[in-house]
Amino acid sequence: MRAVVLVGGFGTRLRPLTNTTPKPMLPVGHRPMIARLVDRLARGGVTEVVLALGFRPEPFVDAFPDGRCGDVQLTYAVEPEPLDTGGAIKFAADHAGIAETFIVANGDVVTDLDVGELVAAHRRWSAEATLHLIGVDDPSAFGVVAIEDRRIVDFVEKPEPGQEPSNLINAGTYVFEPSVLDLIPSGERVSIERSTFPLLAARGSMYGVPTDDYWIDAGRPELYRAANLDLLRGVRRAESCQPVADGAIVAASARIVDSIIGDGATVGADAHVVDSVVLPGASIGPHATVESSLVMGSVGEGAELRRAIIGADGRVAEGASVVDASVPPPAPG
């Protein structure tokens, strides 16, 4: 079975980390988010993944130089300009010549969903489209469905708070019949959530599978951090990771608590790292304190970070304090 994986977004909410690394290439538990996603799709029967790229294919090609991720063959579909989610699915499916039932996944979803079960439900109901659904407390920031006996009868993207038809949201993994592609014009910017799903709901051919699987949309900093740290907490069905990568250099007197230290990162003497992700190649100086933060760049001796995001080119000076802020800061405008 083939899958289209959407990886072409700008990842603005994860800046400055995404200034240098596309969001799906950021590590979750020492492995690129996309590699964990492709592995899970493979466990559900996927043998080929078409990566729908809006820009900059190089980091992906460099990471998978032989065009494979494990046993899965990778194909790259690079849009001439970002086409939004629906336009990207159409472009990628046309590029790969998809004319059979296929899977679509958002590249930033971290979940334990069994994709094989989603496909089985889709076939059982002879659906045109089947969506993975998750129940959340505040659905208004997502695509929300109204569902009647598994059939999705309404789909509203980011409704006004209080106007949500249910607490079930689009969890970013779909099974589509090729006829869904006929609803999307070629070469145009189309949002699958705003344009195509309402049409399918009106047709009565779209179904939903609510599950209580682990699920995180890792596109926001605090959720990207949680997606990493949850791998240490034993809350995932089949995945876990060690806190400190083998290739990290951590001083014996450093204290690492509920944190991940990536390959090639260094942590100096008496540094204290809590609830944080120190990404590959980052450096934490001696006596620094890093709390609830994401660090790709360097943190000077004795500096203090709390709820900070330090990009690859971010340098925190010796003794400086960064609280609820990013280095470098967001570009103006």
Q: Which residues lie near ligand GTP (CB under 6 A)?
A: 6-13, 23, 52-54, 79, 82-85, 88, 106-108, 219
Kindly tell me which of 60 and 248 has the beta carbon lying closer to ligand GTP: 60
Kindly tell me which of 5 and 244 has the beta carbon lying closer to ligand GTP: 5
Judge contact between 244 and 280, C-beta under 8 A: no
Least distance to ligand GTP, CB of residue 318, Å = 32
Residue with tokens 């072409």: 8
Residues 284-322: b if buried by 16+ CB within 10 A, e if exposed: bbbbbbbbbbbbbbbbbbbbbbbbbbbbbebebeeeeeb
Kindly tell me which of 190 and 244 has the beta carbon lying closer to ligand GTP: 190
Q: Which amino acid is at 53?
A: L
Kindly tell me which of 29 and 86 has the beta carbon lying closer to ligand GTP: 86
Least distance to ligand GTP, CB of residue 19, Å = 12
Least distance to ligand GTP, CB of residue 203, Å = 23
Kindly tell me which of 53 and 118 has the beta carbon lying closer to ligand GTP: 53
By DSSP bridging, strand 255-257 and strand 272-274 are parallel
Kindly tell me which of 85 and 196 has the beta carbon lying closer to ligand GTP: 85
Least distance to ligand GTP, CB of residue 36, Å = 14
For CA atoms 165, 166, 167, 173, give the dihedral sign: negative
Q: In whole angstroms, how far apart are CA 168 and each of 11, 131, 157?
A: 24, 11, 12
Q: In whole angstroms, how far apart are CA 55 and each of 35, 139, 261, 262?
A: 19, 30, 29, 26
Judge contact between 71 and 98, C-beta under 8 A: no
Least distance to ligand GTP, CB of residue 81, Å = 8
Least distance to ligand GTP, CB of residue 233, Å = 24
Judge contact between 291 and 285, C-beta under 8 A: no
| 100's tokens | 């059979």
Q: Rounded CA gap, 103 and 121, in Å?
A: 13
Helix, strand, coil tally for the chain in percent (to 5): 25, 30, 45
Least distance to ligand GTP, CB of residue 303, Å = 27
Least distance to ligand GTP, CB of residue 244, Å = 29
Kindly tell me which of 247 and 329 has the beta carbon lying closer to ligand GTP: 329
Kindly tell me which of 106 and 266 has the beta carbon lying closer to ligand GTP: 106
